[in-house]
Amino acid sequence: MAKRKSLKLIPLGGVSGIGKNMTVVEKENQMIVIDCGLMFPDEDTPGIDFLIPDFSYVLKNSGKLKAIILTHGHEDHIGALPFLFKKIRAPIYGTKLTLGLTKIKLNGLADSDEIEYREIDPARGLSIGSFFIEFFRVNHSIPDGVGLIIKTDIGTIVHSGDFKFDHYPIDNVHTEIHKIARAGEEGVLALLCDSTNAEEEGYTLPERDVGKTLMDKFEKAEKRIIVATFSSHIHRIQQVLDVSAKMGKKVAVSGKSMLKSMKIAGELGYLKIPENIIIPISRIDDFPINEIVVLSTGTQGEPLAALNKMAMDEHRRVTIMKGDMVIISASPIPGNEKAISNTINMLIKQGADVFYESIAGVHVSGHAAREEIKMMISLANPTYFIPVHGENKHKIQNAQIARSMGIKNDNILIVQNGDIVKMNINMCRISGNIQPKNVYVDGIGMGNIEDMVLRDRKILSNNGVIFIALAIDLSRKKIIMGPDYKLKGIIYIDNINEILDEGRDIILDSVNKCFEKNILVKNRIEDYIIDKFEKYFFKNARIRPIIEVKALVK
């Protein structure tokens, strides 16, 4: 009897933090990829626009790749596709809205017309190589999301996608509990389960609760209302439009991504825009101030987003006035808390009344809390449990939930990005790690930025830089000009002039030491000065700025 091979799972992202979700599922010489998302930066990655998965393993095994399957249209699940598709091609599977949003992202590629899109009908399964995949609809903070039931001759894997159980959803599309239960009855080898809200007790509140809160706020507003939400949160946008229509208000949209999302969602039937409610942002002054609602991007304090421009008094059309009501209808993505707080403080300083999640109930999550995770585990009834989509603290909490549901501790795997998970009916274990690199996108290009570069960026942002210039005659072993300083971003120091004056002696002494040791190479002299001056400056000023030395030689 031939030996039955194992299934291989490799999370390339999504299990060592919130974002850049991407998972490889491999059987023999065939491979599918689930999602391809990005991650937003935090304060430890200054100057970075976002992070994406390391595609090296997929590129190396591109001959095996049969499909990329997208669970839904959020950036942390589709945002890295343009970078992957600069190097590779494969059919993209997704629901109608997910593909609509994906096409917007990929339209900038030179040969975007040649990309193969295949629309998923959740009511029908499909065969992709040696995988048979069924889909179940899930409630989330964007319509048309799905989870996956991946069937093979080795066993069945259930991928929950991002989910919650909303029993009264905005679009009346429910999480398809019966499909998960049927898979559980037939036998599930492993469940990959969303961990984002595993710390939260009870159940996640339904989306309609936000609509009630919005109505309450709108009724109390005396002037303009500005609502900021994610451009992909179609259900939230729908509720803003519906409440505005009931109150007889006009809605102006600010933000390119918001306009694009609303356009595609409207065209595909996922957003129902009340008649004559939308006006151009250029016409907001043509209506009474208490009839205007501005729907805006910028919930995460992004510098170039519409809400932050309003807060900075740099928006072309909207100037914040005393009494404006600003509703930030989103929760902070980890790492963005400070930027959001800064935006809120600037809005308040300009006179706005600001309402946000932690004080006003203007947002509910799209992810399952503990009781809903228990329901997912009970329905799927897996042999093995793998928490995904979260930081380590979320995965540990999810694992505890699984243990409380009777899953053996040995059957629960806490995985990290790059781990190679091998499984069959008799085992599930981590057999190694492919060591994925950190890949950053900084507006110019993408690549692995060494720790030294990020370290320098953090130092620059915190402590500034000191430029030192001098001219040296190497043949005569003599300093003929300088040293002179230029300081950028240095915090105020009482005795800075004294420190810099004494520092000139350190620099001169360093150069003379080089002459004494017959070190006459420009780069070596500059490095020697940096080493000596850096130690001297920290000892006397207690900060470590970047030190840059430019020696002109003749």
pLDDT mean values, one per 10 residues, the chain (554 residues): 74 94 95 94 66 95 96 95 92 97 86 90 94 97 96 96 95 96 98 97 94 94 94 94 96 92 94 95 94 93 84 91 94 79 92 86 92 98 97 97 97 97 93 91 56 58 85 90 88 84 93 90 90 89 86 86
What does the alpha-carbon distance between residue 199 and residue 507 come to, in Å, rounded to a whole number?
55
- The structural architecture, per CATH, of the domain 7-202+365-447 is 4-Layer Sandwich (3.60)
- pLDDT of amino acid 2: 46
- pLDDT of amino acid 167: 92
Q: To the nearest 10°, the Cα dihedral for 244, 248, 254, 258? A: 40
For 250, the enclosing helix (H) or strand (E) is: strand 250-254
- pLDDT of amino acid 444: 47
What does the alpha-carbon distance between residue 377 and residue 385 come to, in Å, rounded to a whole number?
9
Q: What is the pLDDT of residues 248-266, one digit of tens each?
A: 999 999 988 899 999 999 9
What does the alpha-carbon distance between residue 137 and residue 127 come to, in Å, rounded to a whole number?
18
SS3 label, residue 483: strand
What does the alpha-carbon distance between residue 309 and residue 315 come to, in Å, rounded to a whole number?
5
Contact 95, 458 (CB under 8 A): no
What does the alpha-carbon distance between residue 372 and residue 365 come to, in Å, rounded to a whole number?
13
- The structural architecture, per CATH, of the domain 451-553 is Roll (3.10)
pTM above 0.85, yes or no: no
- pLDDT of amino acid 339: 82
With CA atoms as reference, report the closest residue to 449 among 50, 140, 37, 150: 50
Place of tokens 């409630």: 139
Domain layout of the chain by residue ranges: 7-202+365-447, 208-358, 451-553
Q: Provide the β-strand partners of residue 481.
A: 471
What does the alpha-carbon distance between residue 253 and residue 234 come to, in Å, rounded to a whole number?
14
Place of tokens 């603290």: 393
Q: What is the pLDDT of residues 70-87, one digit of tens each?
A: 999 999 999 999 999 989
Residue 72 among the catalytic residues: no
Contact 109, 83 (CB under 8 A): no
**DSSP secondary structure letter of residue 277:** -
- pLDDT of amino acid 114: 87
| % of the chain residues with pLDDT over 70 | 94
Q: Is the peptide bond before 11 cis (omega within 30 degrees of 0)?
A: no
Both tokens of 114, joined, read 């040649």
What does the alpha-carbon distance between residue 438 and residue 122 come to, in Å, rounded to a whole number?
34
Contact 304, 314 (CB under 8 A): no
What does the alpha-carbon distance between residue 530 and residue 548 come to, in Å, rounded to a whole number?
7
Q: Find the catalytic residue in 194, 324, 353, 419.
A: 194
Q: What is the pLDDT of residues 453-465, one digit of tens each?
A: 555 666 666 678 8
Q: Is 273 left (phi over 0), alpha (psi -120 to 50) or beta?
A: beta
Contacts of 383 (CB under 8 A, 6+ apart): 188, 189, 190, 411, 425, 428
Q: Provide the β-strand partners of residue 491.
A: none
- pLDDT of amino acid 320: 94
Question: Strands 30-34, 22-27: parallel, antiparallel or unpaired by DSSP?
Answer: antiparallel
DSSP assignments along 369-384, one per residue: -HHHHHHHHHHH-EEE
Residue 363 among the catalytic residues: no
Contact 64, 28 (CB under 8 A): no
How far does CA 105 lie from the centroid of its chain? 15
Q: Find the catalytic residue in 77, 367, 389, 394.
A: 367
E strands along 329-397, which residues? Answer: 353-356, 382-388
CATH class of 208-358: alpha beta
- pLDDT of amino acid 32: 98
